[in-house]
Amino acid sequence: MKRLVIGGLLGAAAARAAYTALTRRPPGHNGLTGDEVWGRTNHRGEPVTLLEGPAFFTGAAAAGLLVPGLPGRVRAAAFVAGTGSGLLGAYDDLAGSSSSRGFKGHLTALARGEVTTGAVKILGIGATGLAAAALAGSKASSKPGRLADTVLNGAIVAASANLMNLFDLRPGRAVKVGLITGVPLAFGAGSAIVAAPLGAAAALLPEDLGERAMLGDAGANALGALLGLSATRLGLVPRLAVLGGLVALNGASEYVSFTKVIRETPALNWIDMLGRRPVEPKPVQ
């Protein structure tokens, strides 16, 4: 419990410091100002910044290096999973287009010879997940795991990274999903891995709910990857169940709107709206 509390506090402090520094002087690119590079329009048509994402993954990474009691390989794996997924997500945030969406869209484009930023991200996060899994090793020790374990764990990290991004469509939703799924993991074998990301996510939640910022691909992919890495410390049967659920949800997203399902399910809608501004009614035509 002490390690969990320390990790959470370190994550929260690092993420808030990173967010303050980034928003004070947003980094520009190719002659564009920082606000032009990182500014986006949310579902209400109002301006938000994507800098919450870089603040999250840099804060979680920095804090993860300082959490006491983590084996060196696991610490390195968390850094690779979070930072790698975050950087790939940031690349898609800044260079991507909406011409292709989802696994099906990006892989279809790839089949006809078009390399989208989303395809680069999918392949990159897959490679990052495998690298993190290989570094972390098996649940029982800090030594590298067998090939089958590495492939299973890498798939969990990558699938979790992609799934979390699918929830970042409304204020606070991805962070809430991360906290709800991460808290049980925090009291299990992966507590030290997930402590810093949960602290970082909680610290940035007010910015997200206040519709001043959003995680974007950078933050959502990193949050999902770190939660996935934490889940790889479970036993074999729970890991297989986790992967099955992740694959099913990722697949369902190609055909089902998560936003619609959440809106039409009272309990989920209540959680989704908690702390958010009310939805403004559409004007009568």
Considering only CA atoms, which of 279, 187, 223, 233 is closest in space to residue 71? 233
Alpha carbon distance 16, 62 (integer Å): 12
* 250, 165 contact by CB (below 8 A): no
Alpha carbon distance 113, 213 (integer Å): 35
Q: What's the pLDDT at 98?
A: 58
Considering only CA atoms, which of 204, 131, 151, 138 is closest in space to residue 174? 204
Considering only CA atoms, which of 215, 169, 203 is closest in space to residue 20? 203
Q: Using alpha carbons, list the distances in angstroms from residue 17 to 7, 21, 50, 56, 62.
A: 15, 6, 16, 10, 11
Listed range (114-118, 121-125, 168-172, 259-263) with the worst mean pLDDT: 114-118
All structural domains of the chain with their residue ranges: 2-273
DSSP type of residue 39: E
Give pLDDT tens digits for 118-151: 778 889 999 999 999 999 986 644 445 588 899 9
Give pLDDT tens digits for 184-238: 998 876 677 899 999 999 999 999 999 999 999 999 999 999 999 999 999 999 9
Any idea which residue has 């492939």 for tokens?
151
